[in-house]
Structure 1
Amino acid sequence: MKHLVAKIHPADNVLVALTDLPIGTPVTWDGVTVTTTEKIPAKHKLALHDFAVGDEITMYGVLVGKMSAPVATGGLLTTGNLKHATNSYQEGQHSQSWAQPNVSQFEGRTFMGYHRPDGRVGTANYWLVIPLVFCENRNIQVLEEALVNDLGYARRKSYQPQTQALIELMQAGKSVEEILATDLHSAEVDYQKPKLFPNVDGIRFLNHEGGCGGTRQDAQALCGLLAGYITHPNVAGATVLSLGCQNAQATMLQDEIKLRDPNFSKPLFILDQQTLGTEETLVSTALRQTFAGLMQANQQQRQPAPLSKLCIGLECGGSDGFSGISANPAVGHTSDILVALGGSVILSEFPELCGVEQEMVNRSVDHETAQRFTSLMKSYGDSAIAVGSGFDMNPSPGNIRDGLITDAIKSAGAARKGGSSPVVAVLDYPELVTKPGLNLLCTPGNDVESTTAEVGSGANVVLFTTGLGTPTGNPIAPVIKISTNTKLAQRMPDIIDLNTGTIIDGEETIEQAGERILEYVIQVASGLEVHAVRHGQTDFIPWKRGVSL
């Protein structure tokens, strides 16, 4: 049964509208009836009683803001009357016990993955071509042009027929108005060549703008991230292009690789342009070595692996007022099931943990873990304030338009992706996940920077919740797009993989949705293509350790 409103936590003093509520609509929750005094759009919040200036607003059981203007019972909370506010946090009681979910239907289940020498298991099998510095980006593009089409890895819809149709219309004398009114249809690329290497999912080219010109810390972080991708279980090997004089030296990259995998044995080719000389020599050598590496990678085959070998990144982007009550808690239940089975999950986006710090402290397994979390949160927050910003500036215009009017509201809902299991480790970017359980990773709230970081830390699948829709993908890990509402899933079916708007519609419980998500993860981990992979959406943005919210 679908309700008009929802109260997320017993301690909350606002309701969330599950549908548009006209003025004068009576809504009831827990025996209390409130009549709306103004139009309340779906996903937005209405007051359960009169609020005065300075009154605290509670959602998800935590402080999410203070009133800056009075609002009557049944009124709408907006950025004009509510300002971001959170409680302070301190050392707390650490988790000693945890009520694990029932995992009987998943015990003994497996996925078909690529087993690597370091014991990890990949959900895909990619070859990487990486520049150590932005100066090599053009050579990377030359290699992409030389390799992708002829090896059968072209994955892109062509709109060229539309352009040709428009040219023909213009040449036929059609007016601007007639051309604007023309209904055009795109055409898929005709794949004339099958994949030459059927066991290699693709070749990924990780262009970036770093490697030199920044600080030495930037170069070290970039090499750490690239090492995370090269040693990743979804990667069979890599070709690396270096100019030679940049801050991000090949030796720095090799040190970071050894840090993550002391017995690293994958094929790795590192070429230095200033040593080799001409572009032709560099590109020809890279082509020859990459082709040989692909021959080796093609020998890999999928084999059964326990679900404990899954490491899932938890991400949200284009969030809305339903994120915290449908997709995020459903993903949180998926996370708890996986943790109970011995797997790993990564919760990142530290600006979107603002306001729930005390919960993370209390869930930490020990004092050292909690202390590292609070230290990273404080230093990150201080660095934002130092340049005239702050975590309170995190919500985007789209977030605000769809009900996330303070960062604390957004954060309290975003944190639900992490379920309820103990925090076993806190990682600073770009460290590697080494412990099963819930890991916190310090990253920005920026979707692509955070997703890039989670995969670099070991996520072999990413669960990405969205209320507004985003095409975000990753070069080597499948990004499963989960909608918070049914309208989005219907409007963007070529982007959304799963819909949890069923929770809002009263058709499914959070637990049922979470189990459904894990069933889909098993299929994807075994080779089922998600939309982001199908479209060739390979977003990759390293984080420079400046302020990025």
Structure 2
Amino acid sequence: MIKDKKTYLQIHPEDNVLVALQDLPKGTLIEWKNNNFHLLQDVAAKHKFTISPLDQDAEVYMYGVLVGKVNCALETGALISTENLRHAADDFKLSKRRTDWIKPDVSSFLAKTFNGFHRSNGSVGTANYWLVIPLVFCENRNVLTLKTAFEEKLGYKVRANDYTTEVDELIRLYQSGADINQIIAQDLSSSATRASDHRLFENVDGIKFLNHEMGCGGTRMDSDALCGLLAGYITHPNVAGATILSLGCQHAQASILQAEIAKRDPKFDKPLYIFEQQKEGTEKELMQKAVKATFAGMMEANKCMRQPASLDKLCIGLECGGSDGFSGISANPALGYLSDILVALGGSVILAEFPELCGVEQELSDRCVDEETADKFMELMRVYNAKAEADGSGFYMNPSPGNIRDGLITDAIKSAGAAKKGGTSPVTAVIDYPELANKPGLNLLCTPGNDVESTTAEVAAGANIVLFTTGLGTPTGNPITPVIKLSTNTKTFEKMPDIIDINCGTIIEGEESIQEAAHRILDYVIEVASGEVVPKAVLLGQDDFIPWRRGVSL
């Protein structure tokens, strides 16, 4: 843990590099145990430097695991960079179970509850939405037509990102004779923002319209997976019911969707209206039936009201995007401690993004509750990486330019920090996309590292809250599950307050411990789950939804 203000940090006792917590100029004296030395180059905050000489091809360790090998001999105090470090990670195999763990003190949360929407199958939603979904991309236009018809009239149109008043101002300037330079120089910060309209259905948080580019023309595996994903959304505790638009001739048949729904919820009893355009005939006939059914469904959804629920009804998806060199030492371990708290309370957490678990496979497989679960995890990791390499890539190519610029210069460094979100509890289940996470405890879900694809999948697996850490800043959200954004550093939090909810830079600055931050975050989660606080992604209408085509996506 970081509690006192420091300028550099050794994350794990076995690490042979230190992390700069602030910009350190060349020549800075590093007082490290009995070995004092000076930095040979400037080291920017979030980057790493050596604490002893390293021969060519020597191994570099962070978080106690192998994260790379050096390309050339390095002296003590040398900056670690993409020029002198290449990706490397330890192999993994079936080994001894290590499921013993030290449970955190949860006494302060035992009596706490959240106010959620109780469903007949025992699940509890943190929100109450109606869905309108196309089974195939051919119906996207009709879904958007329904959006135009319903959203504003029912009071759900998001005004926070409505820039019509800014456009009105520019039209006024143009009509008054302004030139291009005057238009560009115009200050629009004072443009008025219209308030949100009053909701017709007070107990319904929104009506969400999902568009996608799948359902036909691809492989049957893709369309079947799409039906599984959509079934995950329809049966989700945050969803009251759904209107489905089908063309009729596509691969993603309504019968497949209904079978997937039954697989996830055998006693499914939510309102579900399916309309097939090739059966209905004219577009007008289709749309009028869909409008009437959707309105009737929302009347039924409005009857459901928030009631107290214990914290074991929370299922939290763990996500990171726009990660930086502080992710693995501030926000991610704070989520890890929160994850352990929730598991100890009987709740569920989902750790996904398999390309970002490269290098920590051994630890996670050892934490699996049985050999069958460990085997499933290792096989999914091997198959996924092999597929990526066959397509000319591999997990080693995962870090983005932004990751690299801010200190994550190999996939193993990025992965070792990303895995900290999963805490220390045993792995109770390994889930392949787009399956349901229906076991309490830590669930590993096979998804890409792509932020939106992974978040989309976590919600389909049952996450009724998503905690999303970011070092560089990302606006990602989800249509039906509140996504809470946490910054790894104070600079990003202060620069992007419109998209980030919680600052974990306080850990880097020594203002609070990881455990204290976790408690603060969980208190905020309870407020969001109760509908008392609305996260920034929800306020902005950040309804990102991208189904994963089961190919190479890092």
Fold shared per TM-score above 0.5: yes
Tell me if 1:206 matches 2:207: no
Q: Secondary structure at 2:497's aligned position in 1?
A: coil
Pick the aligned partner of 1:344 from 344, 348, 361: 348
Displacement of 1:71: 2.5
Q: Indicate the residue corresponding to 1:535 in structure 2.
A: 540
122-131 vs 186-195, which moves further: 186-195
Q: Within 2, Cα distance between the matches of 1:188 and 1:92?
A: 62
Q: Indicate the residue corresponding to 1:469 in structure 2.
A: 473
Tell me if 1:438 matches 2:438: no
Q: Indicate the residue corresponding to 1:117 in structure 2.
A: 120
Alignment root-mean-square deviation, CA = 1.1
Q: Secondary structure at 2:381's aligned position in 1?
A: helix
Q: Pairwise mapping of residues 272-311 of structure 1 onto structure 2 (< 5 A)? A: 272-311=276-315
Q: Within 2, Cα distance between the matches of 1:31 and 1:147?
A: 69
Displacement of 1:92: 1.3
Q: Pairwise mapping of residues 44-443 of structure 1 onto structure 2 (< 5 A)? A: 44-156=47-159, 157-185=161-189, 187=191, 189-191=193-195, 193-443=197-447
Q: Secondary structure at 2:399's aligned position in 1?
A: coil
Q: TM-score scaled to structure 2, two decimals? A: 0.97
Q: Secondary structure at 2:466's aligned position in 1?
A: strand
Percent identity between matched residues is 64
1:411-443 superposed Cα distances (whole Å, 9 cap, x missing partner): 000000000000000000011011100000000
Question: Where does structure 1 lack aligned partners over 5 or more consecutive residues?
Answer: none
Q: Within 2, Cα distance between the matches of 1:499 and 1:404?
A: 20
Whether the aligned pair in 1 keeps the contact of 2:157 and 2:196 (CA below 8 Å) is no
Q: Within 1, Cα distance between the matches of 2:229 and 2:306?
A: 26
Q: Within 2, Cα distance between the matches of 1:176 and 1:30?
A: 62
105-114 vs 33-42, which moves further: 33-42
Whether the aligned pair in 1 keeps the contact of 2:129 and 2:240 (CA below 8 Å) is yes
Q: Indicate the residue corresponding to 1:41 in structure 2.
A: 44
238-247 vs 70-79, which moves further: 70-79
Q: Within 2, Cα distance between the matches of 1:106 and 1:3?
A: 31
1:161-183 superposed Cα distances (whole Å, 9 cap, x missing partner): 22232233334443433333322
Whether the aligned pair in 1 keeps the contact of 2:131 and 2:208 (CA below 8 Å) is yes
Q: Indicate the residue corresponding to 1:452 in structure 2.
A: 456
Q: Within 2, Cα distance between the matches of 1:232 and 1:465?
A: 23
Q: Which runs of 4+ in 1 moved over 6 A?
A: none
Q: Which amino acid aligns with 1:190?
A: R
Q: Within 2, Cα distance between the matches of 1:202 and 1:188?
A: 24
Whether the aligned pair in 2 keeps the contact of 1:428 and 1:442 (CA below 8 Å) is yes
Pick the aligned partner of 1:11 from 8, 11, 14: 14
Q: TM-score scaled to structure 1, two decimals? A: 0.98
Q: How many residues align?
A: 549
Q: Secondary structure at 2:328's aligned position in 1?
A: coil
Q: Secondary structure at 1:3's aligned position in 2?
A: coil
Q: Secondary structure at 2:77's aligned position in 1?
A: coil
1:95-151 superposed Cα distances (whole Å, 9 cap, x missing partner): 342210000100121100000011100000000000000000000000000000000
Whether the aligned pair in 1 keeps the contact of 2:201 and 2:302 (CA below 8 Å) is yes
Q: Within 1, Cα distance between the matches of 2:220 and 2:34?
A: 61
Closer/same/farther in 2, CA of residues 192 and 326 from structure 1, 3 Å limit: closer
Whether the aligned pair in 2 keeps the contact of 1:161 and 1:186 (CA below 8 Å) is no
Q: Within 1, Cα distance between the matches of 2:191 and 2:210?
A: 27
524-533 vs 27-36, which moves further: 27-36
Q: Within 2, Cα distance between the matches of 1:199 and 1:98?
A: 41
Q: Within 2, Cα distance between the matches of 1:33 and 1:227?
A: 59
1:441-478 superposed Cα distances (whole Å, 9 cap, x missing partner): 00000000000000000000000000000010000000
Q: Within 1, Cα distance between the matches of 2:456 and 2:99?
A: 32
Q: Secondary structure at 1:315's aligned position in 2?
A: strand
489-498 vs 70-79, which moves further: 70-79
Closer/same/farther in 2, CA of residues 186 and 142 from structure 1, 3 Å limit: farther
Closer/same/farther in 2, CA of residues 44 and 28 from structure 1, 3 Å limit: same
201-210 vs 22-31, which moves further: 22-31
Closer/same/farther in 2, CA of residues 391 and 77 from structure 1, 3 Å limit: same
